[in-house]
Every structure is written in C-alpha cells, then in structure tokens.
Structure 1
Amino acid sequence: MTDTIKFLGTAGARFVMIKQLRSSGGTWISLEGKNLLLDPGPGTLVRCAKSRPPLDPTQLDAIILSHQHIDHANDVNIMIEAMTNGGFSKKGALFAPRSALEDDPAVLKYVRKYLNEIFVLKEGATYTIGNIKVSTPLRHVHPVETYGIVFKTQKYTISFIVGSRFFPELIDKYRGSDLIVINVVRYDGKGGKKLDVDHLNLEDVKKITKGIKPKQAILTHFGMTGMTMIRAKPWEVAAEVEKETGIKTIAASDGMEFDLEKQLL
C-alpha cells in the first residue's frame, strides 16, 4: 500500500459546508499499511463511494475526530457503521476528545459497541496504530475541546494543524514536521474583513510555516464568512505563502491525492 493522503473534502466551517462550495468529506490517510479517516464531515460516505477508485470503508482501521463540530464530525456514526459492515464485523478504533463522547456527544452510543477500542484524546498524549505513532501535542484555542493530530512513522512526520486561534505554541509543538496540513478558514489579507474568531488566517499560516520550516505545506479547510478564502483563490494564496516563506506550499482540492513518498522522500 502506498503512503497517501486523500482529501475527500476541503470545505472550511459552516458557510462553505452548508453551500457545498467545497466538499466536507474529511481526509483519508493511508500509512504503513493502515487506513485512517480524519474528521468525517457531511458527505464523507458519499465521497468515499464516488472517489476514483472508490474507497472501501470496511478497509478502515481507525477514525479520528479532532473535535465535535459538524464540519469535522457529522458523518462519524455512518462511517463507524460502514467501517464495521453495519456492526456485524466488530473492528477498528475511534480516537476523539472527551467532549465529543460525553458533553455534547457527536458519537452515538449504539455504534460504540461496534468498535474494538475507543481512545479519549488528551493534550500531550501518544497513541499507536500499527507502526504509526499518533500524538496530540496540545489543545488548540477553539470553542470546543480540539486537538491537532501528528502522525509519525519511520519515514516522516505529518502534522494536521486544525481549527485554532493563533498562539506561539502552535509553532513550538509542531516543529520537526516534514509535512504540515493547515486549516486556513480565513483570508483577512489585502483588505479582507478581519474577524475575531478562533480560526487561522493567511498571516497566521505564514508565521506557522516560517516557524516550523517543514519540507512542504498543504492548505485546506477553506471558508468562512463571505467565502473569503474561496474568493481569494486558494491556489494563489498557496503561491503567496510559498513566495514569502520559501516552503513549497500547495492548496488542497476535493479529491486530491498526495503521494507522501514521491513528495517528501
């Protein structure tokens, strides 16, 4: 199995999601012979079926939620059903913050028994999926309990920097990454409307990329009010980040597959 990241969707936050200007299907990650699904938002199952070639949810080994917001967790229950063949083949693991399981649960209780294991994400913790180390280095600044996810293998370290207000620890804790995948909901550049919300904007992304100095950066999860990132043309925004940071940067698109071995080794 080739190590790849498949972007089933690149929609960020509520407005791009509800208008489906971009798909909100989350991210399918294949590493070290394991298949992992990160943040299955609305339409994930449909995007798996329509992928070319189709992605078979029964081949999943784990589902990971960074947090419980709808654009990240809406399809978690149907994807657990799909992963476990409707519950008839108990398997796999779920990784989720406690708030997604208890406070205002995104995960229905009846599907939990279909899983082999449920891991509660905590700040500074490390988990294992086969030969992959999965860590949650710090809690992000977001309206609900939220964690970025780091995948580490013998070949590379991949960090998904999900929803958060910018703070310096984002650079410190994700330093050493070969690849960073950053959720950039807001634009706020070149006359863009500045909003006091707990999401990263273009200038935040530049600071993070300069500070971490990965081999490559991928921008995704485009939004928000007024669809500013969409209107700014994400591929042009990525080119601007690359020009200012010197780090190769691309904008993800719906259905894009990123070959880790070809791009990072």
Structure 2
Amino acid sequence: MIGEGSFLKFVGTAGARFVVIKQLRASGGIWISSGKTNLYLDPGPGALVRCLSSRPRLDPGKLQGILLSHKHLDHSGDVNVMIEAMSQGGSRKGGVLFAPHDAFGSGGVVFEYVVNYLERVEILRANQNYRLGGLSFSTGCAHIHPVETYGFNFQFPEAEVSFVTDTRFFDEIADTYTGQVMVINVVRYLPIETVDIDHLSIEDVRRIIERRRPRLTVLTHFGMTMIKAKPWEVAEMLERETGLRVIAARDGMRLDLADYLQSNEAHGR
C-alpha cells in the first residue's frame, strides 16, 4: 500500500463543443493522484485556471505527467500551458507527456518548444503498458473517433479504474475496460441514428455496465443533451434500472477510491 490514498479530482466535466464554448460545465479534465504520483488526464480549456482556483489548490508544479487521450480541443486546449506550469516555465526540465502520435508535428496540438521542457515523451499505442512513478496503466484498442484516441485501465492499490474516453460504441468495449470503477465519457443522452457522431449515449453506457458490472460507474464529459437531461437524474435512473452504483461527476468533485469503495461495501454493493 502507498502512504496516501488514491483519488480522482474532476477539474471539469464538460464534453463536446457547445458545453465547452459556453462553459456550462468546466472543461478542465481530471487530476489523478496515487501516493506521490500526480498525472493530469486531458487538460482541456481552462485547466490551469481551474487548478489554481481549486479548493484546496492544485499545484501543476507537482505533476509528474500529462496524459492526452486524443488531440481534440476539449481534451487538449491547455496542454501546452500545463507543460509550462509542470516544468516551472521550462526552468526545471521534467515531467512526462503521454499522447497519441498525431498530437505532435504538423496538424498536432503540442508546441515543439515545450517538448524540450519535458523529461521525455511517450507515444500512446493500442494495447500497451505504461508507467509513471508508482502508477501503472494500459491503453485499450484504438477507439472509433475522428482522430487517434485511446482509453485507459489504471492499476491503483485500491482498485482498477477504467477511463472510457470519446468513442462510438463497439462490442469490444466491455472486454477492453475491466475496472471495478469505470469513468465513462457520455456526450449524448439519446443516440441519433441519422447523425454520424462518434460518442457514447446513455443507452451505450447501459450496455457496457450491464455486461461489465463494475462496483462504481462515474458519468462525465457531458454534451448539451446530457446537461439538459440533468446528469444526476440520469445517473439515478441508471442506478435504479441496473441495480449498479452510478453517479454523475460534478465540477470540482473529488473521488477518494478507498473511502468510496469501503462505503459501497458497507451498503452491500
């Protein structure tokens, strides 16, 4: 066991362009902490400001790494300034950036000059294992999305946590993401058969969790139809209908893995 418990801090829960550009929810991504290792997943627009205004404050200078699931703006908008902050403006070379190949170079989102501030870059590929300090994680298969996109299985001392990032539904999702805790990006409330949108809907989430049966599902990365449907009410509906624990993330919500899982055990979940 590590000296300090693992937690996820939902710096922002916005998903897709309209919720992001209107800032109906913050678009900061997720701060992941386990022991002395801190990793930032998908620093979207406003990540730096949200970290510094968080209570308690999140200091980007204490990050050891940044992880991009893909290069779309709502996931990568603050990646360069967060690299600057992690490396103290380049005065302290350090930190690791994990990102798909197409996040770099022509058409990419990572500035060439900030790469020089990093200790190293690790290119994400399908079904590979990665490590940062005391934290290990793996990618799943490539997602069905307009750009190169991956989700992740994290091995924490308390539990395995899966992050199901942006994708169209595909049958292998439930086999790929095996965590007792699942954090799922759910942009759409209802599927739209007439529109080609590579994002999950609530019906897709239902199919995944009924097959996988995680101990906890956290919904996040909400699009406009989810915001209008009230994510907390949608989560309650899914919980009633599946008999599985489902919650909707809130901006600024901290999920302490050990405490939450012990609480669920006490209630027979």
Fold in common (TM above 0.5)? yes
Deviations 1:159-188 (A, max 9, x none): 11010000011111112x111000000011
Root-mean-square deviation (CA, aligned residues, Å) is 1.3
Confirm or deny: 8 A CA contact 1:178 1:264 kept in the other structure. Answer: no
Structure 1 counterpart of 2:41, from 23, 38, 43? 38
Confirm or deny: 8 A CA contact 1:12 1:185 kept in the other structure. Answer: yes
Question: Partner letter of residue 74 of structure 2?
Answer: D
CA drift at 1:155:
2.6
Q: Which runs of 5+ in 2 are unaligned?
A: 263-269
Identity of aligned residues (%): 53
Q: Which runs of 5+ in 1 are unaligned?
A: none
1:228 alignment counterpart: 225
Q: 2:237 matched to 1:240? A: yes
2:188 alignment counterpart: 186
2:140 alignment counterpart: 137
Q: Which SS does the other structure have where 1:53 is aligned?
A: coil
Counterparts of 1:96-111 in structure 2, within 5 Å, are 96-111=99-114
Confirm or deny: 8 A CA contact 1:10 1:220 kept in the other structure. Answer: yes
Question: Partner letter of residue 235 of structure 1?
Answer: W
Structure 2 counterpart of 1:166, from 169, 185, 194? 169
Counterparts of 1:87-98 in structure 2, within 5 Å, are 87-98=90-101
Deviations 1:105-133 (A, max 9, x none): 11100000111010000001001112221
Counterparts of 1:22-61 in structure 2, within 5 Å, are 22-61=25-64
Q: Which SS does the other structure have where 1:80 is aligned?
A: helix
Query: Structure 1-normalised TM-score?
Result: 0.95
Query: Structure 2-normalised TM-score?
Result: 0.93
Distance 1:154 1:35 in 2: 15
> In the superposition, relative to structure 1, how do residues 194 and 257 fare at CA in structure 2: closer, same or farther (>3 Å)?
farther
Large movers: runs of 4+ above 2 Å: 192-196
Confirm or deny: 8 A CA contact 1:206 1:244 kept in the other structure. Answer: no
Q: Which SS does the other structure have where 1:188 is aligned?
A: coil
Number of aligned residue pairs: give it: 259
2:251 alignment counterpart: 254
